Structures are given as C-alpha cells and as structure tokens.
Amino acid sequence: MSDNADRILCISTYEKGQDFLLQCADMGVKTTLLTLEKHRDGDWPREALEELATMPEGLTKEQVTNTVCWMARGRNFNRIVALDEFDQELGAHLREHMQIAGMGITLANAFRDKLAMRTRAREAGFLVPEFTRVINYDELRGYVATVPAPWLLKPRANASAIGIRKIAEEEQLWRALDELGDEQSHFVLERFVPGEIFHVDSIISDRQIVFAAAHKYGKPPMQVMHEGGVFSTRTVDRGSSDWRELTDLNARLVPALGMVRGVTHGEYIKAHADGRFYFLEVAARVGGAFIADLVASATGVNLWREWARIEIEQLRGNPYHPPAHYAEYAGSVLCLAQTSHPDTSAFNAPEIVHRMKKHHHAGLIVRSQEPDRVEELVDTYSAEFARLFLASMPAPEKPTA
C-alpha cells in the first residue's frame, strides 16, 4: 500500500530549528532530520520526527547527495529545508538534483553569496557600500585608486562576521591576497562604512513581505566578534523614521532579490556620514544569536514555526495567512561567559522574560511596552555583563558546528 503522507527532509549541521520540527508534527507532516553524528544526542524533539539520521563531518556534496537519494528510495520527500545558513547551498543543490520544488542554486546564491546579493541589490537600484570582485587585478587596482580605505575583505559564503578582515591601506590588501592564494576569488572587497547596524527579520509569502520586525544592534556584530564584548540588540521605535525607512527598504529589496516564500534575516547600516541606509546582507533563514526569541518576545511571532507553516501550506496548495501579533519592544543581551553555567539571577527586573541556557554563555531578553525602558535595561545590563561574566576568545576564521 502506498504512503501518501506529506514528508519534509530537514538538514542541519547545527543544533537548531526545534520549533520548525515541532510545527511540522503539529500539522501532520512526517519529518526526517539529517544532522551530524556529533549532534545525535542533541536536544531534538524526537517525538516530532519520523527519523533522526546522522552523517559524519566532512562528507563531499556527492556523498551527501548519494546518502539523501538512498534515503529517498523508501520515502518520498516533498520538500527539503536547510535549517542553517551553512546548509543552504546543499539544500538548493539537492532540490535541483531531485527536482523538488523550492529555492534552486542560482536563487540561493542571492541569499548566501555576499558578492551575488550585492550585485543584484545594486542592479535593482539599492544603496550598497562600494564593492568589487576579488578576481581581476586591474579591476582591483582601479577600485583602490577611487574608493578610499579602509576596506573590508569579506568571505563570500560565511555568515555573521566570520573571516572578515579590515584593510587599512593598499599594501596590506595585496599581502592579504597573497596569503589567500587560490582562495581569494571567494572573497569580496567592500568599503568600510562607519554607522549603526540594524537587522530586519521577515516572513515572505508569494513574493510579499507579510511580517517584519526591525531591531538595532548595540555594538556592530563585527566589532563584538573581532574585538570582544557583549552582543545586544533591541526593537526599533515603531513610531520612528528608522522603523519606517527600514521596513520599507526591506519590503522592496527582499522580493527584488527573488525571494518567493520563507523567512529572511537582513542587515542594513545607517551611515554616520550621510544618514542613509545601505544594504549589507540578507539570508534566507531565521537569525542566529537568539534573534528568533527576541522577535517572539516583541511580537508573539515564532519565526521557526511560521517558516514551517509557509512550506507546508504551499505544499498543500493552501494560502498562507500571517499570524496575529502584538507590537511591544524587546531587547537581548548575550556574551561568552567565563563559567560554564553563569548565574544571572541577580538581574531581576520584572521586564525579564527569557534567560538563555547555553554552555559558557550568559544571556537574557527583556520586554516592555516602552522602547526607552528596553534601551535603558539593555545598556545597563550590557555594562554589567561585561563586568561580571565576559570572556573572550579569538574570532574564528571558519564556522564550527
């Protein structure tokens, strides 16, 4: 007897996306999770899974493809969802190879490759810090002759600020490229624009933004990663021009890059020099660093669950209706801690709604109806976290699962 159940294959080389898996189960979808062997005993909702499959680290794309196609001999996967940033290209490749609906390789690059997304955004008329490919040396010489330093040498495929180098002058650039050797074409060179960094987290359905929340980082993430410090972010005042400009920009840019459905985490910079917003990058996934919990605290919207709902409703041919939400303000404070389980109980403001439980990290989220109160708490707690908990370590050159 044939089995006509809806099935989704989720791929994640990090331990995340539990709410996505739970939502699939709630909607009657049979889900297989493919993750790394070292995450076999992770905090997965096993009751929500049809199967938990694991693979060793370091498999080639061909080996993973063979593994997934072998699994598909006995189960018909209707959709493939890559839950983490570093699995997006693999997910796109598998969809094309198996001819399963969803984002293909070219479209995935617009939300994964920093050169591709900048090129598309600039061609669509959006402000982007001046950038160039790291391929043709005459092109590079022309760039450094006309665009003033400092510049940022960014890996095209890494997430967050991993692997970024700040370049102060031309000789330093050529030394860096010599070190990279054949890897240099996998980088993009971009003008460093001092400013305030914001992120907009969105839900997209039928090429339209149907939900968006704008937040402002404390210290820029690149500064936190490379110089150390406390990571923080808080909801932008919804009555401000920043909120209006950011949400309007995001609502135009994400569909212009080709997004059809799903969730995005976009980052923008408000330049000190001219006060305008510039596009930095966007990913077709839920934001990391507990941003999903932050958005849920401020709005009641669980981005992981909504991502699952969009995929399943589209699979079943049903319209997606965005969830009801509220409009409060939230802020998060997070840092690497010196102890394995730091005690944050001394922080006892009634606005605290979530305490993060992560090995060697201290973190919490506050919520209020007043944006000024959230800003006050985030600023105060950031200083106290730095004094009480903060540990530091060198910024990673490559991601680690």
55-79 tens-digit pLDDT: 999 999 999 999 999 999 999 999 9
- pLDDT value, residue 219: 85
3-7, 68-72, 188-192, 267-271: which range is least confident on average?
3-7
Taking only Cα atoms into account, the Rg of the chain, rounded to an integer number of angstroms, comes to: 21
- pLDDT value, residue 395: 55
Mean pLDDT, residues 105-123: 96
Tokens of 370: 């007043």
Beta-strand pair 208-217/195-205: antiparallel
Cα 89 from Cα 114, distance rounded (Å) = 13
The residue among 84 and 396 whose pLDDT is bigger is 84
Selection from 91, 115, 90 nearest residue 102 by Cα: 91
Mean pLDDT, residues 29-40: 97
Confidence class for position 161, pLDDT limits 50, 70, 90: low
Helix (H) or strand (E) holding 65: helix 61-72
Confidence class for position 319, pLDDT limits 50, 70, 90: very high
- pLDDT value, residue 220: 82
Q: What is the DSSP string of 159-203?
A: -TTTT-EEE-SHHHHHHHHHHHGGGGGGEEEEE---EEEEEEEEE
Domain extents for the chain? 7-109, 130-191, 195-388
Q: What percent of the chain is modeled with pLDDT above 70?
A: 96
- Measuring CA to CA, how many Å separate 45 from each of 7, 29, 31, 38, 380? 17, 14, 11, 16, 36
CATH of 130-191, one of 3.50.50.60, 3.40.50.2000, 3.40.50.300, 3.30.1490.20: 3.30.1490.20
Selection from 9, 88, 10, 16 nearest residue 281 by Cα: 88
Who contacts 151 (Cβ-Cβ below 8 Å, separation ≥6)? Answer: 144, 166, 167, 173, 189, 190, 191, 192
Q: Tell me, which fold does domain 195-388 have in CATH?
A: D-amino Acid Aminotransferase; Chain A, domain 1 (3.30.470)
Helix (H) or strand (E) holding 6: none
Q: What does DSSP assign to residue 112? A: T
Helix (H) or strand (E) holding 286: none
Mean pLDDT, residues 207-231: 89
Tokens of 336: 């690497």
- Is 130-191 in the same CATH topology as 7-109? no
Q: pLDDT averaged over the chain?
A: 94
66-75, 123-132, 186-195, 226-235: which range is least confident on average?
226-235
| Domain over 7-109 is classified CATH 1.10.1510.10 | no
Beta-strand pair 187-191/151-155: antiparallel
Task: Give all strands of the β-sheet with 231-235 in edge-to-edge order.
Answer: 277-283, 262-271, 195-205, 208-217, 231-235, 329-336, 361-368, 352-355
- pLDDT value, residue 1: 41
Selection from 262, 254, 265, 80 nearest residue 159 by Cα: 265
- pLDDT value, residue 94: 98
Beta carbons within 10 angstroms of residue 233's beta carbon: 26
Q: What percent of the chain is modeled with pLDDT above 90?
A: 90
Q: How many CA atoms lie within 13 A of 383 on its CB side?
A: 5
- pLDDT value, residue 327: 97
77-86, 158-167, 225-234: which range is least confident on average?
158-167
Tokens of 309: 């709902």
Confidence class for position 2, pLDDT limits 50, 70, 90: low
- Measuring CA to CA, how many Å separate 104 from each of 28, 96, 352, 358? 26, 6, 41, 34
